[in-house]
Structure 1
């Protein structure tokens, strides 16, 4: 059976690949088998993979909103758009969980020109610039031109003093982070140039997906009990994390959600945090 990927490529349907993605949601083996059997009865030659994904998501949602939310994680991060502004804020939060000081959208003067930097981070006296490459669909990879361009900006900024966290800061590191993937050539060039390259699944124990799961940084966009319109209203208010809602029901009432729905949303957010044993008040004073 052939299916069509978002890129337009035609490939064989891979039952085991789908099983693996469902296992990552935390669903039990018997539930996964049920879902796979249903999908295999419904699948047809030339079916878009996005429809298969949507079907699996809806079937998971019927039995466990938490598993559905985790299965939806990559799409939820892609929903931090459309231009990536909220993705940059989200990446700053990720660094904060690892004890970095952060600033977003900083304009610095280089040797030749000025540059707007997505995120600046500081830890143990070392200051780094972080460039975020956001994509709203799965089919785009960041190629070698991305680290080449960012390296040129980094070279223009380092060696100078800047006013970021203090009046006399120097930049000694550079990160390139994408919510999708890099091409192999981009990784090779970035690594050779001493850039810290992080994508959705690279490097294995430091990739974006691993960091999100490890720290419980589930974005509000992964919650199945919220509508797309409600998610957008929360993002505009810079409510980025599901954990932000757990003890702050007023954030939901402020955007017009009624009491009964608020209880369901809070329950899903709490269950999601409890799933990883995460302290949902991690960003509170």
Structure 2
């Protein structure tokens, strides 16, 4: 049997890949195999990949909402759009959790022209710039033109010292971050030119999905117990992560929800954070 990806590409359906993704979300191998068995009668040749995901997600949610939230992590990252504003703030949180000082949306004068930098980070003696590329489609990839462009900006900015973190320093490092994936040529160029890349699955075992699970910095957009409107309301209050939701005072205040719903949301959140 074959499935149709959002890009229109037709690929073979991989049972093992589905089971692995369910297990990675926290489901047991037994439950993952049971979910596959239960959705198989609804699968057909040419079925859209997002429909397969939806069927598996629904079954997983009935077993564990927290595991379903982890399973929907990639979708949750994409829901930090559509402009990428919240994605930039989310990436800033990831750097902060790794011990960096962070400043967002900074205007700097390069040797030739001025630049708006998405994120500036500092750790020990190193000052770095971080540029974010947000895609609204999960099948979109960041191609080689983007790191080429970012490198030209980095080369202009690292020619002179900038005074941001209370002292003049040279920007010595540059990251390019995307919520999707990089093409092979983009990775090849970045590795050759010294740019650091971060995407959903790159570097290997250190991509966004790995960092999120390691630091438990889950975006609120992956929670299954919140509506889309409630997620947007929380994002507007700068409640970006599940940790923020559980620890910021009055984070539930503007939601105006019942005690029972609040209890369910807190239960799912605690299961995510205490895995």
**Equivalent residues of 2:110, 2:159 under 8 A apart:** no
> Quick one: distance in 1 between partners of 2:214 and 2:207?
11
Give deviations 1:167-200, integer Å, cap 9, x for gaps.
4121011001111110010001011110011111
Q: Deviations over 1:141-183 (max 9, x none)?
A: 0000010000000011002121211241210110011111100
Any idea what SS the aligned residue of 2:186 has? helix
Aligned to 2:72: 72
Within 5 Å, give how 1:48-197 maps onto structure 2: 48-197=48-197
After TM superposition, the score normalised by the length of structure 1 is: 0.94
Distance 1:245 1:167 in 2: 34
1:226 is aligned to: 226
Encode CA deviations 1:76-114: one digit per residue, 9 max, x unaligned: 011101110011101110011111000001111111111
Q: Which residue of the partner structure matches residue 215 of structure 1?
A: 215
Task: Tell me if the contact between 2:82 and 2:136 (Cα under 8 Å) persists in the aligned partners.
Answer: yes
Contact persistence 2:39–2:55 (CA under 8 A): yes
Give the CA deviation at 1:258.
2.2
Checking the alignment, whether the CA contact within 8 Å between 1:249 and 1:266 is kept in structure 2 is: no
How far residue 272 of structure 1 moved from its aligned partner, in angstroms, is 0.5
Deviation, 1:250, is 2.4
| Deviation, structure 1 residue 138 | 1.0
- Could you list the runs of 5+ residues in structure 1 that have no partner in the other structure? 276-285
Tell me what 1:15 maps to: 15
Moved over 3 A (4+): none
1:30 aligns with 2:2: no
Three-state SS of the structure 2 residue aligned to 1:6 is: coil
8 Å contact from structure 2 (residues 25, 67) kept in 1: yes
Q: Find the aligned partners of 2:247 and 2:83 in 1 and give their Cα distance.
A: 29
- Which consecutive unaligned segments of at least 5 residues does structure 2 have? none
Report the CA distance between 1:249 and its aligned residue: 6.7
Tell whether the 8 Å contact from 1:22 to 1:71 is kept in structure 2 after alignment: yes
- Once the two structures are superposed, residues 44-83 of structure 1 have per-residue CA deviations (whole angstroms, 9 ceiling, x without a partner) of 1221000000111111000100110010011101110111
Q: Distance in 2 between matches of 1:28 and 1:161?
A: 52
1:254 is the counterpart of 2:261: no
Give the corresponding residue for 1:279: none
Measured in 2, the distance between the counterparts of 1:271 and 1:20 equals 20
| Number of residue pairs the alignment of both structures matches | 275
Once the two structures are TM-superposed, the CA of residue 247 in structure 1 deviates from its matched residue by 3.8
